[in-house]
């Protein structure tokens, strides 16, 4: 099965490369978790939409070109020219030392440690209106100039890719299938508490079940922070992707419904009647004492 751009996939992966004989992990869905008995490595599959740039470009291209079988593990070696390119000597740039220092003072260029001290190996970023973009790495600092390597930091490296796709939804799948993946992507396991439906062609209605709140003994500051993290932050991120919902689902309006029962301790009818009967007695005693006086 080929996966075109716009496909949603649940995938586990790890990309490594060698540098000076040592293996380095570029990105991975495997994470180390510290427990009482020690560290444990667990895999947390990721939901991605092909074409959105959530993974390196060469990896996206690899996934699109591979004839995929669900739950089959693939191990593929990607040469430099298909990953981050081969090292190009033409990308070594010489900048006069005085000009380079002036750029640092003006913050047009910024060193990785934010200092003004030049040294080989330091990474240089270009400051584009507050956005820092990788510019290169210092190779040499001379009396008159600075040599910058403008190649990608991973140029010349072979990438070792291992991945397994657990589920795939192609662009021609139903709206309901794509919506299910989208909700899982943003809300994770909490998506099981969300009831989503299309009341009309271009309207999406999402309801947060009241059952979600039953896992909290009470709504205090800690539980409020959990609700914010699990529900309302992902909700904001989802709404920020409104163009995605329009493109994949044809949705132009989203209705969000929260349902929460407020528990109030009620007073029984018997208690109310007893209290009502007691009040006149007290008043009669008070009236009697006033008469005697």
pLDDT value at position 273?
53
How much of the chain, in percent, has pLDDT values that exceed 90?
72
139-149: pLDDT as tens digits: 999 999 999 99
The ranges of the chain annotated as CATH 3.30.70.2210 are 174-293
Q: Model confidence over 25-61: pLDDT tens digits?
A: 999 999 988 877 778 889 999 999 999 999 999 999 9
CB distance 236 to 187 below 8 Å: no
Please, where in the chain does CATH 3.10.50.40 lie? 1-85+155-172
CATH topology of domain 174-293: Alpha-Beta Plaits (3.30.70)
Long-range contacts of 26-33 (CB under 8 A, 24+ apart): 26/56, 26/154, 26/159, 27/55, 27/56
Domain 1-85+155-172: give its CATH code.
Answer: 3.10.50.40
Q: Give which of 81, 70, 72, 249 is closest to 167, Cα–Cα.
A: 70
pLDDT at 277: 53
């Amino acid at each position: 099965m080929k996966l075109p751009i716009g496909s949603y996939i649940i995938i586990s992966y790890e990309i490594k490369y060698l540098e000076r004989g040592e293996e380095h992990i570029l990105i991975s869905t495997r994470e180390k978790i510290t427990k009482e008995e020690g560290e444990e490595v667990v895999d947390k599959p990721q939901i991605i939409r092909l074409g959105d740039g959530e993974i390196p470009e060469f990896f996206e291209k690899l996934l699109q070109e591979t004839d995929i079988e669900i739950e089959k593990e693939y191990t593929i070696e990607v040469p430099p020219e298909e990953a981050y390119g081969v090292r190009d000597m033409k990308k070594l740039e010489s900048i006069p030392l005085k000009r380079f220092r002036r750029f640092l003072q003006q913050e047009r260029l910024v060193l990785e440690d934010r200092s003004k001290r030049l040294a080989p190996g330091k990474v240089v970023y270009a400051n584009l209106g507050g956005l820092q973009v990788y510019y290169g790495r210092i190779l040499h600092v001379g009396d008159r100039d600075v040599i910058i390597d403008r190649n990608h930091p991973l140029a010349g490296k072979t990438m070792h890719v291992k991945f397994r796709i657990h589920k795939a939804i192609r662009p021609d799948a139903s709206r309901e299938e794509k919506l299910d993946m989208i909700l899982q992507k943003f809300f994770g396991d909490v998506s099981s508490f969300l009831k989503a439906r299309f009341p009309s062609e271009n309207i999406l209605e999402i309801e947060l079940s009241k059952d979600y709140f039953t896992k909290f003994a009470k709504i205090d500051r800690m539980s409020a922070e959990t609700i914010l993290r699990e529900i309302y932050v992902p909700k904001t991120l989802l709404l920020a992707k409104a163009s995605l919902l329009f493109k994949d689902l044809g949705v132009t309006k989203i209705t969000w419904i929260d349902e929460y029962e407020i528990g109030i301790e009620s007073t029984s009818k018997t208690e109310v009647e007893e209290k009502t009967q007691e009040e006149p007695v007290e008043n009669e005693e008070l009236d009697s004492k006033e008469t005697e006086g």
